[in-house]
Structure 1
Amino acid sequence: MIPVEKTATRRVPPAEICAQAYAEYLRDAKALATTTVINYVPFIRDFLHHCFGDGRVNLSRLRAVDVVSFVQFRAPSLHLKRAKLMTTALRSFLRYARYRGDVTLDLAAAVPVVANWSMPSIPRAISAEQTRQLLASIDRRTSVGRRDYAILLLLARLGLRAGEVAFLELDDINWGAGQVSVRGKGGQRSELPLPAAVGEAIAAYLRHGRPHSASRRVFLRAKAPITGFRGQSGVGSLVRNSLQRAGIDAPTMGAHQFRHGLATQMLSRGASLSEIGEVLGHHHPQTTKIYTSVNIKALRTLALPWPGGVR
C-alpha cells in the first residue's frame, strides 16, 4: 500500500565518464600503481571540464590551443612538482586518446614543458639524532604506537616511500628469507633485506596491535572503517602528527625526509651512489646525484686554498 519512493538519479557528467574510462585504462592496460592513477585522474577531469564543461565530450575537437590554454590557466596556481605532474598526466591522457582513435593529431607534443632546473636545492633530510628522538617518543605499549613505530622504522631504515609503506601487504614479507618485496614506481618490484629491528617491530604490531580484518594490508587504520590506508597521505599524516607530538623541529613535516636522511647517512659512511640508488630503488643515476651536494665534508677536499693563505 505504500508507494515506492522515487529517487532522483544523478546524471554523471560526460567528463567524469571519460576520466573514469582513462583511469581503468591506466589500471588494467598500463598496470600503473594506484597512487599514480589517483594523482593523474583529477588533472584529466579538470582538463575535460575546462574544454567541454558539463556537455558532451568530443575529443576529436581538441586542438593544440586547448591544451596550451589549460596549462597556462592551471600551472600558475600549482607548486612546481604538481605542475610537472599535471603536464605528465596530460601527455599520458592525450596519448591514450590517440591510441583509442579519438584524436588523430599528436597533441601530447603540444603540452608545454614546465621549467625545471636539475638539482636546484639540497635535499631536506632529517638528522640521525632527530630520528632516534622521534622513535624513542613513540609509546609502544599501545596498538597504535606499535603500528606507528613499525611504519617509522620502515621509512627510516629502508628509505621506503610513503605509498610503498601504505600498500605493503602481508604476502610481501618473506620471514624465512628475511626479505620484504616492495612495489615501487611503475609497478616495479624490488627485494630488500629486512633488518632484524624492523622485522621485530612489524611482528610486534601483527601479534599485539593489528585489528582483526580480512584485509591483506600490513598496516591498518586505527578507527572505523578498519581498512588499509587509502594512499600515501595517511602515512604522511602519521609522520606529521608524530613529529608534532615529539616536539621535533624537522626540516619538513613529510615522510620523504627519512628517505633523504638514509641516503645522507649512507653517503657519509662511504657508500657509493650506485649502492644508494639500489637501496632507494632509483632507475636513473641522475636521480641519486642530488645527494652529492649534501656531503659537505667530502666537498671540502675539493676546495682550492685561499689566495695569500690563512691569517
Structure 2
Amino acid sequence: MKYLVHHDAVLAQPPEGPLVPYLESFAVWVSEQGYTACSLRSKVRTAAGFSKWLEHNGVGIRRIRAEHVTAYLRYRARIYRSKNGAQTTLESLLHFLRSNQIAPAEQASERLRSPIELCLQDYVTYLREVRALAEGTIITYVPFVRAFLVECFRDGKVTLSCLCARDVLRFVRHHAHHLRPGRAKNMTNALRSFLRYASCRGDVALDLAAAVPVVPNWSMPDIPRAIAPDQTRRLLASIDRRTAVGRRDYAILLLLARLGLRAGEVVALELEDIDWTEGCLTIRSCNGLHNELPLPTDVGTAIAAYLRNGRPSSSCRRVFLRARAPITGFTSSAAVANVVRHSLRRAGIDAPTGGAHQFRHGFATDMLRHGASLDEIGQLLGHNCPQSTTIYAKVDIKALRKLAVPWPGGKR
C-alpha cells in the first residue's frame, strides 16, 4: 500500500516514527525552495527513513539532536553505498523542525568550551552590541585575538590582569614579519580593540592598547585597478538576456557599473529597498548605515525585467536569488564575484581583476575624469571617512603626461 505525502512524493509503505505528522509540511517546505520532483522524493524518503530509525531507538520529537543525525548516517552507510545527499537533507530537516519550534534548538554546552573561547564569546558580544561593528570586521579580528590568547594562556585559565606590554610586543614581533602589510595592520587593530575592551571591563589596569606597535604600511601604494569603460560596455553587451540567469546577471552587473556598489551591498538589496515611485535605491552599507541613491533608468529597467521574467517564486525578500535550489538569497558577496568572473570569462575580456570591486573603481575614476569632486564621489560611494576616497586622486603616468607643461626651449 502506497502512502501519499505530497503530490510529488509517494512512499512505498506508510511511514513510522515521530516525524510522520510533519512529513507533508516538510515536503511543502522543500518544494517551495525550488527543488525538482526527483529531489523532493529523495528528501522525503530520507526523512521517512530517519523517522523510522528514531522510533526504533526510542527518540522522541523533543529529544532530536545533531548527534542522532550522525548516528543515523553511520547506520545508513552500512545499508546504502551512496549517501545521495542524506546529510544535507537531514541538516535541512533539523533546521525546518527547529525553525518551526517542533524540535528544540541545539544548546551549546559551555562546560565544553575552553576559557579562551568563552572569553572570545564575550568579546564578540561586546563588538556587536556595544561597538556595533560590521560582521566582516568581527570575522577579521577574532582569529588574531584567539592566537594572542593562545600564546599568552595556552589552554589554561584566561587571566587578563596578568597581561603586560611585553606579551603584546612579543606577539606582534613574532607574527608581523610573516604577514603582508595590510594583514599586519589588521592584526594590530584587532589587538588594540581587544585590549581596549579588556580595559573597559576593568580586567587590565594599564593602557596596553598604547603598547601595540605601529606596523609600517605605505598608504595607498597602488593605483586602483579599474575596469575600462569599453570593457564594461563589451561585458554588458555579451550577457544573454533571453534567459532568467542572464537577466539576473545583467541587472547585477549594471548595479556594479552604474552605481559603484560593493558586492555585499548587491547581495543585501531587498525588494523594499527599491522605491519605484521616487526612482531611488536604499543601500545597506557594510558599516550598518543606509545610503539613498538615485535609480538610473537602465538599471531600473534591468531589475524590473528580472523581477517580472526571471526571479523564481520565493518568500525570500532579497532582490537577487540563487538559480538553483534551495531558492534563496545569495549567502555572501562571493556569489556576486562569481557572476563577474564567469561573465568576464565567457566574454573573453582581460579585465584588471576577476572581482566585483573593479567596477567600483571604474565608476569613481570615470566620475573624476568628468570633473566630480572627491566629496561628491565619496558621498555616492557611501564613504564615512574622506581618506577612503583620496585613493582616487592618484593618477597613472599616461594621464599625468597629458597635463605636463612642455620643457622650456623644447627639444634639443
TM-score calculated relative to the size of structure 2: 0.68
- Residue 264 of structure 1 corresponds to which residue in structure 2? 365
- Residue 244 of structure 1 corresponds to which residue in structure 2? 345
2:388 paired residue among 284, 287, 293: 287
1:228-272 deviation per Cα after TM superposition (whole angstroms, max 9, x unaligned)? 333333322332232223221111122211111111111111222
Q: In 2 relative to 1, CA 79–98 (structure 1 residues): closer, same or farther, beyond 3 Å? A: same
2:265 paired residue among 149, 161, 164: 164
Q: In 2 relative to 1, CA 59–214 (structure 1 residues): closer, same or farther, beyond 3 Å? A: farther
User: 3-state SS of the aligned residue for 2:177?
Assistant: helix
2:169 paired residue among 68, 83, 93: 68
Give the alignment's Cα RMSD to 1 decimal. Answer: 2.8
- Residue 236 of structure 2 corresponds to which residue in structure 1? 135
Q: Is the 8 A contact 1:243 1:250 kept in 2?
A: yes
Aligned length: 311
1:110-168 deviation per Cα after TM superposition (whole angstroms, max 9, x unaligned)? 22222122332211111001111122222223332222222211111111112222222
Q: After alignment, is 251-260 or 79-88 more displaced?
A: 79-88
Q: Is the 8 A contact 2:244 2:306 kept in 1?
A: yes
The offset of 1:3, in angstroms, is 7.5
User: 3-state SS of the aligned residue for 1:187?
Assistant: coil
- Residue 204 of structure 2 corresponds to which residue in structure 1? 103
Unaligned runs of 5+ in 1: none
1:254-304 deviation per Cα after TM superposition (whole angstroms, max 9, x unaligned)? 221111111111111122222212211223333323223227676446524
Distance 1:190 1:85 in 2: 26
Q: Is the 8 A contact 1:123 1:294 kept in 2?
A: no
The offset of 1:173, in angstroms, is 1.8
1:154 paired residue among 228, 249, 255: 255
1:222 paired residue among 323, 344, 348: 323
Q: Which residue type is aligned with residue 25 of structure 1?
A: Y
Q: Which residue type is aligned with residue 374 of structure 2?
A: L
Where relative contact order (Cα < 8 A, 6+ residues apart) is larger, the structure is 1
Unaligned runs of 5+ in 2: 1-55, 69-107
Q: Is the 8 A contact 1:264 1:294 kept in 2?
A: no
Distance 1:218 1:66 in 2: 48
- Residue 118 of structure 1 corresponds to which residue in structure 2? 219
Q: After alignment, is 252-261 or 279-288 more displaced?
A: 279-288
1:45-95 deviation per Cα after TM superposition (whole angstroms, max 9, x unaligned)? 333333333333222222222222322333333332222222222222221
Q: Which residue type is aligned with residue 244 of structure 2?
A: S
The offset of 1:309, in angstroms, is 0.9
Distance 2:164 2:333 in 1: 35
